[in-house]
Amino acid sequence: MSSLLTNSTAMTALQTLRSVSSQLSTTQTRISTGQRVSTASDNAAYWSIATSMRADNAALSAVSDSLGLSAATVDTEYTALTTVIGDKDSGLTKLQSLLVEAKTAGIDRSKIQADVTQIQQQMKATASAATFNGINWLSTSATTPTTFSLVSSYSRVGGTPTIGSITVTTANYSLYTSTQTGILDTAGSSSPSINTMSISALTDSAADQTTLDGYIAQVTAGINSVASAAANLGAVKNRLSTNTDFVKSLMDSVDRGIGQLVDADMNQESTRLSALQVQQQLGVQALSIANNSSQSILSLFR
């Protein structure tokens, strides 16, 4: 039956054209954004997961920055500690050899003391200079915190985030303190500290030789203590380096996970775009043919 009021063929063609146009619009949006799920209306579950994972990645990025700052701080303190330990020409190692040399009978110990004084001053200057971002663990004051927490990781289980940290105790690395309780400025019960010991007045007497033996033992103990502190910081340094690499790898993994959820397959979308464009053109032609079919009714009245 042909009807002027109801053109079912045109209505079917119009519905098909609308459907194709809607799919074409969706495909064009995916191609322009590069995402299969760009809004919650595309896929609420995947969009919600991707949003949470992006937030986690932002937190991991902050952890990565914090790890870089912590690593720089630890590296500064570690470098200063190894400098204080020194070698045959500097630091505690040189100081020890000078004291052994001072055991020689008839030697001018005042000349040796000149070198000792320079080493003492240099070690203290090194400790004072070991400052990064206002933090110094080697030369501390009453206002220096007793512990520092270095952010090392971030994780989230469900809705509960967890921030991991490495705790550093300042006293383990303090060479000089305002209360003179550091590794190098702590005085013994009957002997001065490494920072203030002097041998210029010592002689070849048995008592003074015993004093020198005590100084040598004290410096040797100081070397062991500073080396232990450096080894501890070295372990922290390695842990920070490992965590930095892990966090970067984890961020890449999260990015890949987000991509699996929301990224569009551009090869697939390109093929679909071509197909839908052809369908749209055919739909327009079909609608045009359906609309023109009504014109044939006029011939019945001629």
24-38, 108-122, 288-302: the lowest-pLDDT one:
288-302
For residue 111, give the CATH number of its domain.
Answer: 1.20.1330.10
What residue has token string 């985030």? 161
Residue-level pLDDT at 263: 87
Let me know if residue 134 belongs to a domain: yes
| pLDDT recorded at residue 5 | 64
Determine the length of the chain.
302
Q: Which tops the pLDDT comparison, 182 or 3?
A: 182
Q: How far apart are CA 35 and CA 21, in angstroms?
A: 19
Q: What residues contact residue 226 under an 8 Å CB cut-off, 6+ apart?
A: 81, 84, 85, 92, 175, 183, 184
Residue 145 lies in a domain: yes
How much is the average pLDDT of 249-271?
A: 89
Range of the domain at 131: 55-262
Whether 299 is covered by a domain: the verdict is: no
| pLDDT at 111 > cutoff 90 | yes
Whole-structure pTM over 0.85, yes or no? no
To the nearest whole percent, how much of the chain has pLDDT over 70? 96
Q: What's the mean per-residue pLDDT of the chain?
A: 89
Phi and psi of 122, rounded to 5°? -65, -40
- In this prediction, residues 238-265 reach a mean pLDDT of 90
- Return the number of other C-beta atoms located less than 10 Å from residue 275's C-beta: 14
Q: Which of 87, 138, 99, 105 is nearest to 218 (CA)?
A: 99
Within a domain: 75: yes
Q: What is the predicted pLDDT for the residue at 78?
A: 95
Hey, which residues does 263 pair with through a beta bridge? 35
Does 176 fall in a domain? yes
- Residue-level pLDDT at 264: 87
| Structural domain includes residue 190 | yes
Q: Cβ-count burial of 259 within 10 angstroms (0-12 exposed, 13-18 middle, 19+ buried)?
A: middle
> How many domains in the chain?
1
Tell me whether residue 293 is in a domain.
no
- Tokens representing 57 are 């990645």
Lowest mean pLDDT among 96-110, 112-126, 146-160, 168-182: 146-160
- Above 60 in pLDDT, residue 1? no
Rounded Cα gap, residues 169 and 233, in angstroms: 11
> pLDDT digit string (tens) for 115-146?
999 999 999 999 999 999 999 999 999 899 99
* Residues ≥6 apart with Cβ < 8 Å to 271: none
**Residue 38 placed within a domain:** no
Choose the weakest-confidence range: 66-80, 159-173, 288-302. Answer: 288-302
pLDDT above 90 for 32: no
DSSP string, 201-214: T--SSHHHHHHHHH
> Rounded distance, CA 264 to CA 155, Å?
28
Q: Could you tell me the two tokens for 247?
A: 């966090």
